Structure 1
Amino acid sequence: MTQTALNPGVKTVSSNVPAISLRGLTKEFGETTAVDGIDLEIRQGEFFSMLGPSGSGKTTVLRLIAGFESPTRGTVELEGTDVTARAPFDRDVNTVFQDYALFPHMSLIDNVAYGLRVRGVPKRERRERAAAALDRVQLGSFLGRRPSQLSGGQRQRVALARALVVEPRVLLLDEPLGALDLKLRQQMQVELKELQRSLGITFIFVTHDQEEALTMSDRIGVFNAGRLVQVGSAKEIYDRPNGEFVANFVGTSNIFPAAVGSSLYGRPEAFSVRPERLRLAHPGDAGRHGTTAIRGTVSALVYLGHATQVRVSISDGTTVVVLVHPTALAEEDVTPGREVAVEWRTSDVVWLPPTG
């Protein structure tokens, strides 16, 4: 049994029952299909990220789960119950938005207690629960402050506390870290995942930032053009993308066209190899057992601090990116215009089926 509420005594739900089930979920706006037949089950207590570019349908799916939009077709189930026709306030979910939507004239404790007030919770109880929720996000000493007195990261924590204090079965997060600077965003990624683990409730997180998704998620759903194109763990999505879109969108990948696949392996399909799986070698030294090598010319170097991207042009015009550690780069003395071999293990090849 998995208890997803914050307080003891709240009903428990079997871990075998999905937190969210989407069946044939479709949303059309006039002639535009924003969500195209999504089938998805999100497990109890998992951190699930919806990842994709702008316009891919991920935020619309979140709004359909929340009840802010009604599907054209399909159903939304919450823990086995069809909630498709229910209003947002009649679904046991809550949403954290990118702009936080805090009341500027209210103190933090009143902001957090607002949802309890709407639900008719007595004043003493709601203040106790709001104070406990703020303490959970390390803001217990700021109860009387107003949002304008806080940093961006602190306001984000208040928004989280306000969403969690009503004890939702599922928490929906619509790019809540998008307005933060890089270092604070990275810090909040870790804190958000730790908070989710400690609470044990289901988080559904929408982002277009693949680093966020890889860092925090138990599983990731990659969206493109209104469709769910791949679902898996961060490792599965990164190591074994199921097509060219996922290979390109999640991290950096070298896509070799079908002609190269045919000439090297006798298989007329495109394939990908991640930059960190490639090795630079002298043309005469490449081609060890179990590896594949292709010759090219260094065209550019891009310094990244922890490594250097070496860009190599091969004969068919394809540019291959090799990620090289600084010490290895010094040993190779790689410079633009130099002829090199790019080598990889055959086991690191990921074949990309054609997309129709």
Structure 2
Amino acid sequence: MTEQQPAIRLTGLTKAFGSVTAVDHVDLEIAAGEFFSMLGPSGSGKTTVLRLIAGFEQPTGGTIELFGHDVTKTAPFDRDVNTVFQDYALFPHMSVLDNVAYGLRVRGVKRSERRERAMAALAAVRLDQMAARKPSQLSGGQRQRVALARATVVQPKALLLDEPLGALDLKLREQMQVELKQIQRDLGITFIFVTHDQEEALTLSDRIAVFHDGRIEQLGTPEDLYERPASRFVADFVGTSNLFDLERSSALIGRAGEHSIRPEKLTLASSPATAPGERSAEGTVVESIYVGSGIRRVIDLDAGMRVTVLERNDRARASDDDRGDRVHVTWHDEDVVSLIPPGA
């Protein structure tokens, strides 16, 4: 975190719906110009936090500051933020240009200036050549970019995005992830992005807050969360992990506590590990799954647990050639991550 004033500061933020606490004393600072993601499963509290920042919900407790100003009780239309939803809610009877200019029109901006600023916003998302079209004449990705242009044309200090790529197919989502990151860099404003898709969060974000049961389970860079998960929940939710409980950690890893190892950190061999700092466990291949860029091997260890090994697809071999083979699963000590629950 820099020494500059944060774009968003949440202090003790709490939201209860009757007897259910959706957000439980969240403290968070988001830097100006940061692409920040809130990641978590359904019901984890991430969307409620976004709605609290936008002003669509009022907190039960705590405060919300925007660039140093307390906006906890400020109406949504008086907060210098804008929101893009999964449903882009474009006006079907209006042209793309008029959709983008609508917010300026509501604010009383003169027609000539509205058009100039709307065209500039469309140019920023590379859609200025489609200004005269109607939303029905655009693809899903183009409509998403129109929604971004409409949200940014009023020059908010922060843009809130509530799973805006959720309605797109996989290929288009991947394309839009690249475009969204580029748009954010070009605009230089704070993006706060809510998603349940961990790969999407890892791809886009400068930092990520992983939410669980209304709290932030872990906060850090994509590399921090993936390489150094702080709890069993984060290790299991962010990517794929092989999780070793207390008993298996002691027997196989030689350490007390719970631990995890990422599938790509494991290798298969026909003999036990002998190199310094390496360990191995014997088991049987029960499944081999071809995934294009790699082959996912599922191994039942003799010690009584199942692990997944991800091998690079760097040679031609059938994905089911080695089912039933006896193998030694090998790992290096430095690739084992200790899972320490928050507050432990």
TM-score normalised by length of structure 2: 0.96
Structure 1, unmatched stretches of 5+, are 1-13
Q: Distance in 1 between matches of 2:331 and 2:3?
A: 42
Q: Distance in 2 between matches of 1:44 and 1:109?
A: 29
Please state whether the residue corresponding to 2:128 is helix, strand or coil: coil
Structural mapping, 1:196-275, within 5 Å: 196-275=184-263
Q: Distance in 2 between matches of 1:230 and 1:327?
A: 35
Deviations, residues 319-340 of structure 1 (Å, cap 9, x unaligned): 1100112346849996111111
* Pairwise CA distance, 1:265: 4.6
- Which residue of 66, 69, 94 corresponds with 2:57? 69
- Which residue of 122, 128, 134 corresponds with 2:122? 134
Matching residue of 1:149? 137
Structural mapping, 1:316-327, within 5 Å: 316-327=303-314
> CA 1:290–1:252 in structure 2 vs 1: closer, same or farther (change >3 Å)?
same
- Which residue of 282, 292, 305 corresponds with 1:305? 292
Q: Distance in 2 between matches of 1:354 and 1:266?
A: 20
Q: Distance in 2 between matches of 1:320 and 1:69?
A: 43
Return the letter of the residue paired with 2:269.
Answer: A
* 8 Å CA contact retained: 1:102, 1:111: yes
Please state whether the residue corresponding to 1:292 is helix, strand or coil: strand
Deviations, residues 146-177 of structure 1 (Å, cap 9, x unaligned): 11111100100000000000000000000000
Return the letter of the residue paired with 2:8.
Answer: I
Q: Distance in 1 between matches of 2:28 and 2:90?
A: 32
* 8 Å CA contact retained: 2:36, 2:193: yes
Structural mapping, 1:68-107, within 5 Å: 68-107=56-95
- Which residue of 309, 329, 334 corresponds with 1:347? 334
Q: Distance in 2 between matches of 1:306 and 1:42?
A: 35
> CA 1:278–1:163 in structure 2 vs 1: closer, same or farther (change >3 Å)?
same
TM-score normalised by length of structure 1: 0.93
> CA 1:311–1:328 in structure 2 vs 1: closer, same or farther (change >3 Å)?
farther
> CA 1:268–1:334 in structure 2 vs 1: closer, same or farther (change >3 Å)?
farther
> CA 1:329–1:55 in structure 2 vs 1: closer, same or farther (change >3 Å)?
farther
Matching residue of 1:30? 18
Q: Percent identity over the alignment? A: 63
* Pairwise CA distance, 1:267: 2.9
Matching residue of 2:171? 183
* 8 Å CA contact retained: 2:288, 2:320: no
Matching residue of 1:168? 156
Deviations, residues 25-65 of structure 1 (Å, cap 9, x unaligned): 11101111111111000011010011111111111100000
Matching residue of 1:288? 275
* 8 Å CA contact retained: 2:230, 2:341: no
Q: C-alpha root-mean-square deviation of aligned residues, in Å?
A: 1.8
* 8 Å CA contact retained: 1:269, 1:354: no
Return the letter of the residue paired with 1:20.
Answer: I
* Pairwise CA distance, 1:263: 2.1
